[in-house]
Amino acid sequence: MAKLIGLTIAGLLLALYKNHQSSYQKRLTAFREVTPVDLPNCNFVKGIETGAEDLEILPNGLAFLSTGLKYPGLKSFDANEPGRILLMDLNEKDPAVLELEIRGTNWNKSSFNPHGVSTFTDEDKTVYLLVVSHPNYKSTVEVFKFQEEERSLLHLKTITHELLPSVNDIAAVGPESFYATNDHYFADPYLGSWEMYLGLSWSNVVYYSAGKVQVLAEGFDFANGIGISPDGKYVYVAELLAHKIHVYEKHANWTLTPLKVLDFDTLVDNISVDPVTGDLWVGCHPNGMRIFHYDSENPPGSEVLRIQNVLSEEPKVTVVYAENGTVLQGTTVASVYKGKVLIGTVFHKALYCDL
């Protein structure tokens, strides 16, 4: 009898394991192959070899890129170097990147681990750059003032809060106010990877302002990119492992009401909203298994989606770029400026192409 019970339990555990295994594989689109879609005149951005995990382009064509992210369980080609913020002027013909010097008395350069970035421009045209960082695998939001003439950043403030345990991406709505996704990964890398494996959906969307945090939506299977429509009325959230983009109506009191959900067959990562057309540009991982379990023989591919008329009955989704990792590995973000697209990756290169 004991043996029978033992066998039954073993059987149940195996079934549970198999069930999780297949749902994990499905959530990570483990078996998807990429059908290539190319773009004209693609060039690698010189000086980016260790990722451009997130980027944001100002209306004047200056782009900020975060590079050198160290993320538990993800590949890094420069594990011992601190991260950096790079600047690129997309008005130049063959734009190069320049590292922005960071000034400020309370600034510890050696533990800078930049992740999501977002800008806010105030009425005086002062540009604030808000950067998610993970010093020693903790989670902070660093506020900088961009000093354009000196091509430097002045560090103003470090924001931490117990309800900002593991921030992934932010969308700034003021110098010290932002929407953010918590992916829960950095709260505890060990628990984070179990949470991810089991699909416990612990991640959420919050709003931070003046030291206070409100949880606005929760239960996401890895909330990732977040963006706001140009008119400021809608918020978009990418749910990486559920392959969904959520559209919310944003109210004057900053709360969000769910409006609709779009489904995909790829891991939707960072969202960038075209300030001119309102289109969403999404960096995607066609095969998530390859991004979380890196193998140089079978590298993760890249995929860029464009979503037009997102609020209409039938949004138009176009695969703008897709590639199996031979050229570009692990795309996270794509953003457009004057007929060109700049594509960033978690730990690899960045590509700049004509559209």
Point out which residues pair with 253 in neighbouring strands.
Answer: none
Tokens of 6: 């033992």
User: Per the annotation, does 54 bind a ligand?
Assistant: yes
Q: State which residue, 290 or 306, has the beta carbon closest to ligand NAG.
A: 290
Instruction: Fill in the amino acid letter for 2.
Output: A
Q: Stretches 38-46, 153-161, 248-256, 274-282: which one binds ligand NAG (CB under 6 A)?
A: 248-256
The alpha carbon torsion through 121, 344, 353, 127 (nearest 10 deg) reads 10
Residues 209-228 that bind ligand NAG (CB under 6 A): 224-225
The candidate with the shortest Cα–Cα distance to 47, out of 78, 79, 13, is 78
> Is residue 72 near ligand NAG by the rule CB under 6 A?
no
CA–CA distance, 165 with 163 (Å, rounded to integer): 6
Distance between alpha carbon 271 and the CA centroid of its chain, in Å? 7
Strands across the sheet with 223-228, in order?
Answer: 223-228, 234-239, 244-250, 256-263
> Is residue 332 near ligand NAG by the rule CB under 6 A?
yes
115 catalytic residue (yes or no): yes
> Is residue 54 near ligand NAG by the rule CB under 6 A?
yes
Q: Stretches 4-12, 17-25, 109-117, 304-312: which one binds ligand NAG (CB under 6 A)?
A: 109-117
The alpha carbon torsion through 208, 214, 217, 218 (nearest 10 deg) reads 100
> Is residue 136 near ligand NAG by the rule CB under 6 A?
yes
Strands across the sheet with 212-220, in order?
Answer: 167-174, 177-182, 203-209, 212-220
Tokens of 333: 């973000």
Task: Report in angstroms how near the CB of residue 112 gets to ligand NAG at its nearest.
Answer: 9
> Is residue 266 near ligand NAG by the rule CB under 6 A?
no
Point out which residues pair with 111 in neighbouring strands.
Answer: none
Q: State which residue, 90 or 130, has the beta carbon closest to ligand NAG.
A: 130
User: Per the annotation, does 269 bind a ligand?
Assistant: yes
Residues 279-318 that bind ligand NAG (CB under 6 A): 298
Q: Which of 18, 26, 212, 251 binds ligand NAG (CB under 6 A)?
A: 251
Which residue of the chain is nearest ligand NAG when measured via CB? 116
Q: State which residue, 41 or 136, has the beta carbon closest to ligand NAG.
A: 136
The counts of H helices and E strands in the chain are 3, 25
Annotated catalytic residue, options 115, 155, 243, 285 = 115
> Is residue 53 near ligand NAG by the rule CB under 6 A?
yes
Instruction: Fill in the amino acid letter for 86.
Output: L
| Site residues, ligand NAG (CB under 6 A) | 36, 53-54, 71, 108, 110-111, 115-116, 136, 168-169, 224-225, 251, 253, 255, 269-270, 298, 324, 326, 332, 346
Task: Summarize the annotated binding site for Ca(2+) as residue ranges.
Answer: 53-54, 168-169, 224, 269-270
